[in-house]
Amino acid sequence: MTSAGTLIVISAPSGAGKTTLVRMLMERDPLVRHSVSYTTRPPRPGEQNGREYNFIDIAAFSAMRDRGDFLEWAEVHGNFYGTSRVWLTEQMQSGSDMLLEIDWQGAQQVRRLFPMAVTIFILPPSVPELERRLRGRGQDAEDVIQRRVAAALGEMRHVGEFDFAIINNDLQMACDDLVAAVRAVRLRVSSQRARQPEMFRFLEQ
């Protein structure tokens, strides 16, 4: 699919700081729009329906999945997540740079349909630091934390499938790296040709 907008996929294990980095990216780069996925998990404190996620029940999610409404979907920690295919395509064709926060499984699905998508993986500086961050949330029991750490290790082993890897040791530096990666992608000739078609038509005469 050719479009003026860029599809940016960001993945990370729980505790790597993805949510904070995405918020900082969007504050610094107004050209990036967040794609709001669907999920069957309950809202966390402070989350609003239609802002962080579209919160739906399993029956509604299954119906959308069976109709082929999702670009990608996955089950993560017993909950389902999915991205609206039609809505995302429309936004990109209108010129918006769309950002997806999905896991590595979803990233694999997206790459098959959008081979020009840019994929970025956020890594913690170390496994002990990841464990410390998960404990610092104060939300999960010890057995849950250990399961999340084990799951995170499995996710991080897929980092080689991504275009960029950003290690979130220093938050501001990691944000600078994320902003730089997104801006660099816009400078690809294929992206510039889609954004500035008249210029490239003139050059190719």
Q: What mean pLDDT is predicted for residues 191-199?
A: 85
DSSP string of 121-158, one letter each residue: EEE-S-HHHHHHHHHHT--S-HHHHHHHHHHHHHHHTT
Q: What's at 18, amino acid-wise?
A: K
Task: Kindly report the average pLDDT of the chain as a whole number.
Answer: 89
- The Cβ-side half-sphere exposure at 10, using a 13 Å CA radius, reads 31
Contact 166, 120 (CB under 8 A): yes
Could you tell me which residue, 173 or 96, shows the higher pLDDT?
Answer: 173
* 28 token code pair: 């610094």
Q: What mean pLDDT is predicted for residues 48-54?
A: 92
Q: Can you tell me the distance from the alpha carbon of 31 to that of 96, in angstroms, rounded to the nearest whole number? A: 7
Three-class secondary structure of residue 51 per DSSP? coil
Q: Which pLDDT tens digit goes with each residue over 149-161? A: 888 899 999 999 9
Least-confidence region, from 106-115, 122-131, 136-145 = 136-145
Give domain limits for the chain: 7-35+96-203
Q: What mean pLDDT is predicted for residues 145-149?
A: 84
- CATH number assigned to the domain covering 7-35+96-203: 3.40.50.300
Structure confidence at residue 2 (pLDDT): 53
In this predicted structure, the answer to whether residue 14 has a pLDDT above a threshold of 50 is: yes
In this predicted structure, the answer to whether residue 1 has a pLDDT above a threshold of 90 is: no
